């Protein structure tokens, strides 16, 4: 079977901002939409060889005071996902201070709450190759701020079922975010 491609188009509840997440998931099999929320979409992927696994795409609330809504949304998805799942997108939040260069420092409370949410969801950061920051404010010189807001997490079950994966931060072209690619290298 040919690869299945999924592209998710994001728009916030207020309609004031528009984001395009050009995530492409490749799998041989069927993709079923299982849940769509204001800023998240979840699909189940069945390739016919492995147990089905789940992907959740997230566009986190950008207003600082609303970040908890993203975390609550992720936790609310837990009953509908299997033990093999990945979650990726623009979380609009860093996990650690070193993931931000310049600008106001992030609150320790929010960093801890985001990490606690990831732990509650049974997810691990899949790491990356490429530039360390996925977002920039596109300012020049000392006004430039960069952060790692975009990432992909995976459960231990997904990591064990799909070894040989790599997350790449690709080159930024016209967006303030760089695209992220999740690729798996088959060794059959």
Quick check: is 37 in a domain? yes
Q: Determine the distance from the C-alpha atom of residue 179 to the mean position of all C-alpha atoms in its chain, rounded to a whole number.
A: 11
Element (H, E) at 124: strand 123-125
Confidence at residue 187, expressed as pLDDT on a 0 to 100 scale = 52
For residue 115, tell me if it sits in a domain: yes
Residue 32 lies in a domain: yes
Q: Is residue 80 part of a domain?
A: yes
Task: Provide the CATH number for the domain around residue 178.
Answer: 3.60.10.10
For 18-39, b/e burial (b = at least 16 CB within 10 A) is: ebebebebebeeebeeeeeeeb
Q: What is the pLDDT of residue 186?
A: 59
pLDDT at 112: 96
In-domain check, residue 3: no
pLDDT of residue 169: 93
Q: Which two tokens stand for residue 26?
A: 């490749």
Q: How long, in residues, is the chain? A: 188
For each of the chain's 188 residues, which pLDDT tens digit applies?
A: 333 333 333 332 223 222 322 233 333 344 443 333 345 667 788 777 777 888 888 888 888 888 888 888 888 887 777 788 999 999 999 999 999 999 888 889 999 999 999 999 999 999 999 999 999 999 999 999 999 999 999 999 999 988 888 999 998 888 899 999 998 775 54
Specify the pLDDT at position 9. 32
Question: Is residue 1 a part of any domain in this protein?
Answer: no
The reported pLDDT for the residue numbered 93 is 93
Q: What is the pLDDT of residue 47?
A: 73
pLDDT given for residue 134 in this prediction:
95
Which residues form the domain of 166? 8-184
Q: Does 2 map to a domain? A: no
How many folded domains does the chain comprise? Answer: 1
């Amino acid at each position: 079977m040919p690869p299945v491609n999924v592209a998710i188009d994001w728009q916030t509840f207020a309609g004031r901002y528009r984001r395009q997440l050009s995530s492409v998931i490749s799998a041989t099999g069927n993709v079923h939409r299982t849940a769509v929320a204001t800023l998240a979409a979840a699909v189940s992927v069945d390739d016919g060889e492995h147990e089905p696994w789940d992907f959740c795409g997230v566009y986190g609330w950008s207003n600082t005071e609303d970040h908890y809504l993203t975390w609550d949304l992720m936790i609310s998805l837990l009953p509908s996902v299997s033990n093999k799942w990945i979650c990726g997108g623009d979380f609009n939040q860093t996990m650690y201070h070193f993931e931000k260069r310049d600008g106001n420092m992030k609150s320790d409370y929010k960093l801890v709450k985001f990490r606690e949410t990831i732990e509650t969801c049974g997810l691990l950061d899949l790491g990356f190759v490429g530039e360390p920051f996925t977002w920039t404010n596109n300012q020049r010189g000392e006004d430039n701020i960069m952060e790692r807001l975009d990432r992909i997490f995976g459960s231990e079950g997904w990591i064990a079922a799909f070894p040989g994966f790599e997350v790449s931060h690709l080159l930024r072209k016209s967006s303030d975010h760089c695209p992220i690619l999740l690729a798996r290298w088959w060794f059959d």
